Amino acid sequence: MSVLWFIVSAYVLVVGPIQAARILFYIPTPSISHQVVYRPLAQTLASRGHDVTVITTDPAFPKGHAPANITEIDLHDISYEIWQEQLMKEAREDVGDLRAQLATIMKTMYMVLDKQLQDERIQTLVNDKNKQFDLLLLEAVLPPLLVFSHIYKAPVIQISTFGALTGTYESVGAPTHPLLYPLNTRQKLRDLTLWDKFSEVFIHYAVENLWYSFYDVGDNILKKHFGPAVPKIEELVNNIDMIFLNIHPMFEGIRPVPPNVVYLHGLHQKPTKDLPQDLKSYLDLSKHGVIYVSFGTNVDPALLPPEKIQILLRVFSQLPYDILWKWSKDELPGRSPNIRIAKWFPQPDLLKHPNVKLFITQGGLQSTDEAITAGVPLIGMPMLGDQYFNVERYVYYGFGIRLNIKTLTEEKLKHAINATIADDSYRRNMERFRTIINDSPQTPLERAVWWTEYVLRHGDAKHLRAPSANISWRQYLELDLVLILLSVFPIQAARILFYIPTPSISHQVVYRPLAQELASRGHNVTVITADPAFPKGKAPANLTEIDLHDISYGIWHAEFMKGERGGARDLAAQVEEIAGTFYKVFDRQLEDEQIQTLINDKSQQFDLLILEAVLPPLLVFSHIYKAPVIQVSSFGAVFGTYESVGAPTHPLLYPLNTRQKLRDLTLWDKFTEVFIHYAAESVWYSLYNVGNNILKKHFGPEVPKIEELVNNIDMIFMNIHPMLEGIRPVPPNVVYLHGLHQKPTKDLPQDLKSYLDSSKHGVIYVSFGTNIDPALLLPEKIQILLRVFSQLPYDILWKWSKDELPGRSPNIRIAKWFPQPDLLKHPNVKLFITQGGLQSTDEAITAGVPLIGMPMLGDQHFNVERYVSYGFGTRVDMETLTEEKLQHAINATIADDSYRRNMERFRTIINDSPQTPLERAVWWTEYVLRHGDAKHLRAPSANISWRQYLELDLVLILLSVLLIAVTVSVIVLRLVYRAIRSYLVSDVKIKRS
């Protein structure tokens, strides 16, 4: 283990040193399976110089023998006393009432915590006013632990030894859905009938209601120990910065999550150790192989119903295999000679022995992980908690069988054992699953250390929380607005096709590094482009460029670059103009002889397609070549991007880059932004008809429609950081590659360097990008810029499209091109005035130069709003531009050093990553190639209708049942009322008579 710590420590030291911190782990659960998971993390952090305190029920070291920097507070006896008394005394079997099971577990957990908080050592720790912590790692299974974030005012990483619990995803703003995104309390996952769906939804909300009902119990415990002013749990959950889950997303279920949810599958697993000699001999000498039987640490096998134990014994005695059974007593009455029992086995190492044929388990997650690592098929007999969910996954992925112990018979058990051992597909499926989930650029421990120190480096991780974290349904659904509206690694060389059709250099340069790097790694790369990276015939080996420059730019200039810029534009009209031009360009490109030759060459095949997202008709190539697709965007998402992979969308909480205002929204602003969003979205989807007609024209009437082709998307690459686009939950097949296009710094041309060096007061750089011709700005706006620039003490470098700029003052120097990324890094550059393009923004962030944004087109409004939100830039709207506004913005942004400091802090945060963007892009590209596709990473909500997402069939049935029940109740009440009234009236008549 010490060798592993050394390797991990060396790795993370390469990433970057960090000042030693004081870290508190509190893992209160008296169960060894909960305790062992995060031991490697605590011990590695201590070995890296951090001062680590661990409150635990199972110390890792004998008293006084912990390594330097680790202090363990041992709560074993007081915790296990309650645990054994409340939980470990009852017989176990599949009773089916999950809510009752969880009620017992949660009641016991809260009793344990109450007792722990009374302990003298905990009281001493809490009452020591000199004691401070810089970071808290608190077990998620007990939300009251979050009180320590109130006591120590430190950031919190919530840790789970399995997957998420009720409330986990809500606390970070990830979407939840009782059927599409099941928690580990689900008991059935496959082939759900309508009744199954009803049952699972009922159980989900019953368990959720139970979970939150215990908050009252927790609040009372906190008041008892910390006084009446202590915050409630409902408030404390807002202090969560990050979540660590000891599970792989494929096992828990693919779902969209924000970047502060970190999966650490297999964190607890250690390097293989030699087996004890007697056990090794037993395994080596077994003639037909061994079946290993263990029901984990939280189920006492001796408390199984006696008739079930007898079934197991009778079946095992008839098998040709030897049996190793983890049994809690000294003897097992009735066991046959082929059964060997022990109270403990070295399970992870035992399972790796080649003579182990099968593992019969209760379905605990850590046992499951160890079986996957060993490649041993499973029979699961779930009895408790998440075991039903885990065993359902065995069946789903084809590496195990489920048996319900309540309905267990000799015939069922014998058939399951024989089938699992005889059918080699179970082992093959296990090995394939292991290969996929272990395919990662970091080990779980490396990832855990890196993210832990990420939180320490930045003081917290609130910037990674989705805006939907801990908000109510009323806020999420914007009901106020709705009501108003209602009233008003090495890999085999592959053949890869890049198709980036947009005639704009800002679209073309982003993915050049990826294409060139893949070619240098031996892949055969074809790039269809409007801007070749190399002169004809000069491309590197393995890289073929198909040049469509002239035909593409001919249409682009004729259709798009001819109008004046700088006035107010309707966004829907902009979308129609830009996207409509793209479709015309694409139609013309498909007519090109080079493209026709490529398509008609039946011998040409591709293993992977990398297609620009801005033109959905490109997906037709997935139909032609039957290859997986990575959609790429040179900025953020476009309409339909997130829907295609099943990420949640919301016009206000998760804005697309078409939003023009992000801050301080009034109710009218919200109405306007929602209207603009859906108007632009409607235009986007209406153009699918244009695209479908283009596809029919070139590929015949049988070609699939775009609406079908979007189902072929395997992965999305986006050249943006989630903090700039907006934190949102996404599935793992959405990969952010902010800054992919940026290159190492080059020396400036000597004349430009001399100009910058000699500038007395500094330089302002002005550029409106590649898609706006500055000479086509409104003349009165150009004159405002000129008059203001002429009055400034600063020198001006202005990227200007003509040879001359009439009226420019001596302090203004113009050129048709500047080496922008390198120019911005010169220390004498004080300010960058930009249109707000994403790549210009990225380059300014890298250089640490404050910005003034004048948005005019597309995503520029959105980007400039982000400048203001993060405090590293100012927004000036071109249509309302005046000399006073511009002069004030320039002076304020240069004079106030907070703009530059905020820019540098923002740069530090978004660049804090274990991989460069290019490394990440290459790794995920080859991930798709290694596994043939990435459909296994798609969320189940991808491309489904609202009717399916909301389970409207189920809702309608429930509403019908409710309506019938109400109607029957009303009828019955009316009949009862009439009967009583009739009786009273008749009684009065009798009395009168």
**393-435 pLDDT per residue, tens:** 999 999 999 999 889 999 999 999 999 999 999 999 999 999 9
For residues 217 and 708, give the distance between their C-alpha atoms in angstroms, rounded to a whole number: 51
Q: What is the pLDDT of residue 615?
A: 93
Query: Do residues 153 and 133 make contact, with C-beta atoms less than 8 angstroms apart?
Result: no
Tokens for 637? 């998402």
Distance separating alpha carbons of residues 717 and 630, to the nearest angstrom: 7
Distance CA 15, CA 449 (A): 11
Of 162-176, 460-474, 598-612, 617-631, the range with the lowest mean pLDDT is 460-474
Q: What is the pLDDT of residue 486?
A: 52
The pLDDT value given to residue 14:
41
User: Lowest-pLDDT range, 188-192, 473-477, 647-651, 931-935?
Assistant: 473-477
pLDDT above 70 (res 311): yes
- What does the pLDDT read at residue 682? 87
| Statement: residue 352 has pLDDT above 50 | yes
Residue 961: which pLDDT band, with cuts at 50, 70 and 90? confident
Residue 954 Cα distances to 175, 316, 803, 966, angstroms:
20, 44, 68, 18
Flag whether pLDDT at 774 surpasses 70. yes
**pLDDT digits over 168-225, tens only?**
888 888 888 888 888 777 777 778 888 888 888 888 888 888 888 999 999 999 999 9
More confident residue, 807 or 475: 807
Q: State which amino acid sits at residue 383.
A: M
Task: Examine the pLDDT at 743 and tell me if it is beyond 90.
Answer: no
Q: Residue 119: what pLDDT?
A: 92
Band of pLDDT at residue 9, cut at 50, 70 and 90: very low
List alpha helices for 51-133, DSSP H.
76-86, 98-118, 120-127
Q: Which DSSP string do the residues of 786-849 spell out, in sequence order?
A: HHHHHTSSSEEEEE-SSS--TT--TTEEEES---HHHHHTSTTEEEEEE---HHHHHHHHHHT-
Alpha carbons within 13 A on the beta-carbon side of 680? 28
968 CB burial (10 A radius; 0-12, 13-18, 19+):
exposed
> Given this model, what pLDDT does residue 471 score?
60
Whole-angstrom distance, CA of residue 262 vs CA of residue 492: 30
**Whole-number Å distance between alpha carbons of 248 and 404:** 25
Q: Specify the DSSP element, H or E, that contains 965.
A: helix 952-992
Of 671, 834, 669, which is closest to residue 766 (Cα–Cα)? Answer: 834
Least confident of 667-681, 921-935, 939-953: 939-953
Band the pLDDT of 378: cuts 50, 70, 90: very high
Task: Say if residue 347's pLDDT is above 70.
Answer: yes
Cβ distance 399 to 338 under 8 Å?
A: no
pLDDT above 90 covers a percentage of the chain that reads: 55
Query: What is the pLDDT averaged over residues 441-464?
Result: 90
For the record, the structure tokens of 969 come out as 């109740």
Q: Provide mean pLDDT across the span 77-89.
A: 81
The per-residue pLDDT for 12 is 43
Give me the pLDDT at residue 956, please: 82
- pLDDT given for residue 938 in this prediction: 81
Residue 448: pLDDT band with limits 50, 70, 90: very high
What is residue 948's predicted lDDT score, i.e. its pLDDT? 72
The pLDDT value recorded for residue 366 is: 87
pLDDT at residue 562, as a whole number: 57
Cβ neighbours for 891, distance < 8 A, ≥ 6 positions apart: none
Per-residue pLDDT of 626-660, as tens digits, reads 999 999 998 888 888 888 888 888 888 888 887 87
pLDDT value of residue 46: 95
pLDDT of residue 16: 46
Q: What is the pLDDT of residue 563?
A: 53
| Structure confidence at residue 987 (pLDDT) | 64
Mean pLDDT along residues 484-504: 77
Q: What is the pLDDT of residue 13?
A: 38
3-state secondary structure of 739: coil
The mean per-residue pLDDT over the stretch 49-70 comes to 93
Alpha-carbon span 558 to 547, nearest angstrom: 19
Nearby residues of 367 by Cβ (< 8 Å), 6 or more positions away: 294, 296, 347, 359, 361
3-state secondary structure of 524: strand
Close Cβ partners of 487 (under 8 Å, ≥ 6 residues apart): none
Lowest mean pLDDT among 17-26, 89-98, 949-958: 89-98
What mean pLDDT comes out for the span 735-761?
91
pLDDT at position 477: 59
Which tens digits make up the pLDDT trace of 358-368?
999 999 888 99
Q: Looking at the predicted structure, is the pLDDT value of residue 905 above 60? A: yes
Mean pLDDT in the chain? 87
Structure confidence at residue 559 as a pLDDT band (50, 70, 90): confident
Q: What's the pLDDT score for residue 484?
A: 56
232-271 pLDDT per residue, tens: 999 999 999 999 999 998 888 888 888 989 999 988 888 8
Burial of 982 (0-12, 13-18, 19+ CB in 10 A): exposed
302 or 545, which is more confident? 545
pLDDT digits (tens, 9 = 90+) for 578-605: 888 889 999 999 999 999 999 999 889 9
Confidence of residue 485 (pLDDT cuts 50, 70, 90): low
**Which of 481-495, 650-664, 949-963 comes out lowest in average pLDDT?**
481-495
Look at residue 466 and tell me whether its pLDDT is greater than 80: no
Mean pLDDT (whole number) for 705-729: 91
SS3 for 624-669 is: HHCCCEEEEECCCCCCCHHHHHCCCCECCCECCCCCCCCCCCCHHH
> Two tokens at 771?
């898609």
